[in-house]
Amino acid sequence: MPLAPHAAPAPSAPAPSAAAPSAAAPCPTPSARRLDVAADLLALLRDTTTEPRTNPQLEALTLAVAADLPVLLWGEPGIGKTAALTQLAESLDLPLTTVIASVHEPSDFSGLPVLGDDPAEQGVPLAPPDWAVRLVRAGRGLLFLDELSTAGPAVQAALLRLVLERRIGSLRLPPEVRIVSAANPRASAADGWDLSAPLANRFVHLPWTHDHEVVVRGLGGTWPRATLPRLDPDKLPEAVDVARRAVCGLLTARPALVHRLPGNESLRGGAWPSPRSWDMALSLIAFATAAGSSRDVLALLVRGTVGDGPGLELLACLDRMDLPDPELLLADPRNAELPERGDRRQAALEGVVEAVKSRPDRARWDAAWTLLVRALETGAPDLVVVPATTLAALRQEEWDVPAAIERLAGAVSLSRRTDRSVARATAAGGAGTGAGR
């Protein structure tokens, strides 16, 4: 029974002997005290914070993670891939499990055969590694497969089922487990290998580069915060429709893009088009549309799934889908809302000219000229040159020249003079180079 406060000790309690060992904690040595001070300094250095910051790389990564697609980050050593994944796991409140692929055997991913009491009757089960068991017990997590490009062909083959089917031996990872990998380009990897085509085609490939401002601000104690995208519930049906129309429209017009295995071995280790990667691209377009992501983010995701060439064609399809209806622009040209971005604005104007060409009449021709004037007043003058030239060629003899043409004549002639000046300067530079040889 504990003593009451201020109670006197019992008379029979023996006094401690001078020779008896002291029960008090030993005094720390000078070296231990110095280590404590060092620990305090390390704690201060690690005391950092985060802030919301626009970062296309980070947003593309979080979108792919939200879409439950395996991601592979490509970047030079020391670029911050591991740190980004650690911060991502903390932000999403997911336990992080890091597995260095290159230091494991194929059986660590396919499962280690374990003999039971009666193999002939029960078979030989494949025992999963301890990290996979921990992930299943947790029910959620972020599995980080690091140094993927230093894993040999046998290990890469064993990873196929893990990345696609989420299976390790007889164990299946829970749906709440996300998979992210990292790799260095072969030229800068330690004893690096090209990724096999089957493994590469299972990933969304994202380039990971450093941003000078992000690094400087982070070293100052503030790093960008990784957050899952906010998907607009009202946009979900529209997002799926946009994604399906874009992908199906492109593949209908370009059937050769459905499956195109690169002939170069190194290119096979990156993003290339296949039915699997087109399906991933479709999902990512839907997620990016529902999240209202920028075109930079969308470009990273699309090119990271089907490759640069097919990805750019898909982006062009999406741009055309977003263009305003030419008939609506012709119906009210004075108040028409034209795209802000130059390439999309020119495409919209050319679409209007094509609409007039397909169904020419005087009223539609005049309306197109009015629209070109509005484009001249609200954007770069050079964007109206080609549409104006094509529209002028559609004039029929009985149509009077509209007054709007006078307002466009200056821009057209100025653009042509500029083009001729550039041509002359280029020709003169080439002649000078030739004379100097």
For residues 168 and 194, state if they share a domain: yes
For residues 335 and 395, state if they share a domain: yes
Evaluate whether residue 7 is within a structural domain. Answer: no
d(CA 147, CA 134): 21
d(CA 290, CA 284): 10
**E strands, 75-228, in order:** 96-100, 112-113, 126-127, 141-146, 167-168, 171-172, 177-183, 204-207, 222-224
Give the per-residue pLDDT at 61: 94
Give the per-residue pLDDT at 111: 76
Question: Domain boundary at 224, 254, 274, which?
Answer: 224
For residues 286 and 358, state if they share a domain: no
Question: Domain boundary at 322, 349, 366, which?
Answer: 322
For residues 297 and 351, state if they share a domain: no
| Sheet strands side by side (includes 96-100) | 96-100, 141-146, 177-183, 71-74, 204-207
Evaluate whether residue 17 is within a structural domain. Answer: no
- pLDDT, one tens digit per residue, over 289-302 is 999 999 999 999 99
Give the per-residue pLDDT at 118: 64
Query: Residue 400 belongs to what domain range?
Result: 326-427
Average pLDDT over residues 100-115: 81
Helix (H) or strand (E) holding 367: helix 362-378
Helix (H) or strand (E) holding 406: helix 404-435
Evaluate whether residue 66 is within a structural domain. Answer: yes
For residues 259 and 385, state if they share a domain: no
Per the CB < 8 A criterion, the answer to whether 280 and 263 are in contact is no
For residues 186 and 108, state if they share a domain: yes
For residues 140 and 212, state if they share a domain: yes
For residues 344 and 399, state if they share a domain: yes
Flag the least confident range among 122-131, 185-194, 350-359, 370-379: 185-194
Evaluate whether residue 12 is within a structural domain. Answer: no
- pLDDT, one tens digit per residue, over 382-430 is 888 888 888 888 888 888 877 777 777 665 554 444 344 444 444 555 5
Question: Domain boundary at 269, 301, 322, which?
Answer: 322
Kindly report the CATH number assigned to the domain that includes residue 150.
3.40.50.300
For residues 242 and 182, state if they share a domain: no
Helix (H) or strand (E) holding 74: strand 71-74
Nearest Cα to Cα of residue 392 among 351, 341, 343, 356: 356
d(CA 249, CA 375): 29
For residues 243 and 200, state if they share a domain: no
Number of domains in the chain: 3
- Token couple for 434: 């030739």
Reported for 414-419, long-range contacts at CB under 8 A and 24+ positions apart, including other chains, are 414/381, 415/381, 415/382, 415/385, 416/385
Evaluate whether residue 34 is within a structural domain. Answer: no
- Check whether 284 has a pLDDT greater than 90: yes
3-class DSSP assignment, residue 360: coil
d(CA 94, CA 85): 11
